[in-house]
Structure 1
Amino acid sequence: MPREIMWTDAEEIGIQLQEKYPELDPLTVRFTDLHKYVTGLEGFADDPTKSNEGKLEAIQMAWYEEFKDAAN
């Protein structure tokens, strides 16, 4: 069983999102969709209502770093 993922695990979430959605440029994803992608990850165990703009932005930036690395 995968370890539990919380909103504060931006780096881990970024890695998992890159693996699950390699074709998406994270900077084109709306926060409403990002929220849906994160809460749909296997192992996500946090309260879906506890996200905020800062947490989603941190996740988006972590995902973007993975996206850039994958492109190289």
Structure 2
Amino acid sequence: MRWTDIYDIAISLEEKYPDIDIINISFPKLKEMVVSLNYLDDLPNRSNEKILEAVQAAWLEERDSNH
């Protein structure tokens, strides 16, 4: 995955961190969590606030669709 694979990242985050409070997570922590995914094949510094916001929104959507 690359940083632009927003929905794939969101699915992976939900699988790995199903109990995280997505709304109150800081962007530095979110970035750290995405970088820790074994599937990310991109440089950590390629993310930015816009990408992290999109990941957070997609993750919320993913969680909502599963509950």
User: Scaled by the length of structure 1, what TM-score is found?
Assistant: 0.87
Given the alignment, which residue of 35, 38, 56 partners 2:34? 38
Matched length: 67
| Alpha-carbon shift at residue 25 of structure 1 (Å) | 2.3
Rg larger in 1 or in 2? 1
| Alpha-carbon shift at residue 43 of structure 1 (Å) | 1.5
SS across alignment from 2:13: helix
What is the rounded CA distance, in whole Å, between the counterparts of 1:20 and 1:42 in structure 2? 11
Gaps of 5+ in 1: none
For residues 9-48 of structure 1, the aligned pairs below 5 Å read: 9-48=5-44
Runs of 4+ in structure 1 over 4 Å off: none
